[in-house]
């Protein structure tokens, strides 16, 4: 599969095999081969950012064993949700059992999601969503071209915004407000994962993993800050740097803390402010090396007289020559029960 991924056409930068292997291993998937007809899938993984489908295939391979016994005549999403390269109804999947045909949801059909969870008799499924229809079409073509499409049956392709898709699934599945969780794991492979992390966390099962995979560590920092600012039930387990000659990745120290000077200022403003665990962690800490990152939110930023241009994202990554091939940073969060 690694050679196939490297040589396939690409419309975007792919997730290279070495990186995809590490990302999938972080989910610690151990699917069992179970009998078909058990009902809706117990294992559902969402990949936000289909790209050219490289990571999608590695995810599908990881859960493929759970669907080996799925009966060919089990119910499935509507057949007219399958599209070819030109976006027309495709007949080139007739060799694939009707219950296992993947779908590509059109944006105009978003109000009535094509994927029907209750009619899906697979034991595990990978949902992959992208804002660009062309990306989903190319990714589906690439997946289909590998070993006669053996992993097509494990994937559902979707088009649109991840937060809107989640809202549609909550409505379609008639989930109650008290418990709207339905995803086992989530991978945010997109430029601004912090925008969707709150919505994603709301539908993630307890003990499920949320991964943010980005080329720059500042994008991971943005997620860390968003989780801290909104008190989301996500615990950061680790941040890894991926790249050439990094077997398994290199750990980074990325935390949101209040520096001691800032904490003293807060204590002077509020009398008898108790010492928090956060203060204990930040007391006496210094930046030990360039890999240690600290975040500080300033409440008085808006009062600064210096005009600031908004809308920029910082790029912070090592240089590896004229061309960067693979690598990046992945943050791993675990959903906690609050």
Contact 116, 74 (CB under 8 A): no
Burial of 258 (0-12, 13-18, 19+ CB in 10 A): buried
Contact 221, 252 (CB under 8 A): no
Whether the model pTM is above 0.85: no
Answer yes or no: is pLDDT of 264 > 80.
Answer: no
Gap between the Cα atoms of 301 and 304, Å rounded: 6
Gap between the Cα atoms of 271 and 110, Å rounded: 53
What's the pLDDT score for residue 324?
Answer: 53
Q: pLDDT higher for 323 or 28?
A: 28
Gap between the Cα atoms of 49 and 189, Å rounded: 5
CB atoms within 10 A of CB 305: 4
From residue 310, alpha-carbon distances to 124, 159, 275, 302 in Å are 42, 29, 35, 12
Gap between the Cα atoms of 9 and 196, Å rounded: 29
Structure confidence at residue 318 as a pLDDT band (50, 70, 90): low
Q: What radius of gyration do the chain's Cα atoms show?
A: 22
- Count the helix, strand and coil residues of the chain and give each as a percent rounded to the nearest 5: 35, 20, 45
Taking the CA atoms of 155, 330, 62 and 13 in sequence, report the sign of the dihedral they define.
positive
Gap between the Cα atoms of 131 and 96, Å rounded: 26
Q: What are phi and psi of 328, to 5 degrees?
A: 140, -165
Mean local confidence (pLDDT), 37-54: 87
Q: What is the DSSP letter of 98?
A: G
Contact 113, 105 (CB under 8 A): yes
**Percent of the chain scoring above 90 in pLDDT:** 42
User: Tens of pLDDT along 205-252?
Assistant: 999 999 999 999 999 999 999 999 999 999 999 999 998 777 788 899
Long-range contacts at 37-43 (CB < 8 A, ≥ 24 apart): 37/71, 37/74, 37/121, 38/121, 38/123, 39/118, 39/121, 40/117, 40/118, 40/120, 40/121, 41/117, 41/120, 41/122, 41/123, 41/124, 41/125, 42/123, 42/124, 42/184, 43/123, 43/124, 43/125, 43/184
Query: Residue 267 in 3-state DSSP?
Result: helix
Gap between the Cα atoms of 102 and 335, Å rounded: 29
Gap between the Cα atoms of 330 and 315, Å rounded: 15
Gap between the Cα atoms of 57 and 147, Å rounded: 12
Mean local confidence (pLDDT), 178-199: 95
Residues 6+ away with beta carbon under 8 Å from 126:
45, 47, 56, 59, 60, 63, 154, 155, 156
User: Tens of pLDDT along 284-305?
Assistant: 444 444 444 444 444 444 444 4
Answer yes or no: is pLDDT of 173 > 80.
Answer: yes
């Amino acid at each position: 599969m690694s050679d196939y991924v490297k040589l396939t056409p690409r419309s975007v930068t792919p997730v290279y095999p070495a990186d995809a292997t590490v990302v999938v291993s972080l989910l610690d998937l151990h699917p069992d081969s179970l009998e078909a007809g058990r009902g809706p899938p117990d294992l559902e993984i969402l990949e936000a950012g289909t790209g050219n489908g490289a990571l999608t295939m590695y995810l599908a391979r990881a859960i493929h064993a759970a669907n080996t016994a799925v009966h060919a005549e089990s119910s499935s999403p509507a057949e007219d949700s399958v599209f070819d390269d030109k976006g027309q109804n495709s007949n080139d999947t007739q060799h694939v059992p009707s219950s296992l045909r993947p779908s590509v949801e059109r944006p105009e059909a978003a109000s009535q999601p094509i994927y029907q969870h209750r009619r899906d008799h697979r034991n595990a499924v990978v949902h992959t969503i992208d804002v660009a229809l062309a990306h989903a079409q190319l990714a589906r073509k690439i997946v289909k071209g590998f070993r006669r499409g053996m992993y097509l049956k494990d994937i559902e392709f979707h088009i649109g915004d991840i937060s809107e898709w989640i809202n549609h699934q909550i409505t379609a599945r008639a989930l109650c407000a008290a418990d709207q969780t339905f995803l086992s794991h989530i991978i945010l492979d997109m430029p601004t994962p912090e925008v969707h992390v709150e919505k994603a966390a709301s539908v993630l099962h307890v003990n499920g993993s949320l991964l943010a995979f980005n080329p720059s560590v500042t994008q991971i920092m943005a997620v860390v800050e968003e989780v801290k600012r909104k008190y989301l039930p996500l615990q950061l387990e680790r941040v890894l740097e991926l790249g050439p000659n990094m077997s398994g990745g290199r750990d980074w120290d990325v935390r949101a803390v209040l520096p001691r000077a800032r904490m003293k200022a807060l204590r002077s403003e509020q009398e008898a402010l108790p010492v928090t665990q956060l203060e204990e962690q930040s007391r006496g800490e210094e930046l030990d090396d360039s890999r240690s990152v600290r975040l500080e939110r300033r409440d008085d930023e808006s009062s600064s007289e210096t005009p600031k241009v908004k809308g920029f994202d910082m790029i912070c990554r090592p240089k590896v020559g004229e061309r960067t091939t693979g690598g990046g940073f992945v943050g791993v969060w675990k959903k906690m029960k609050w």
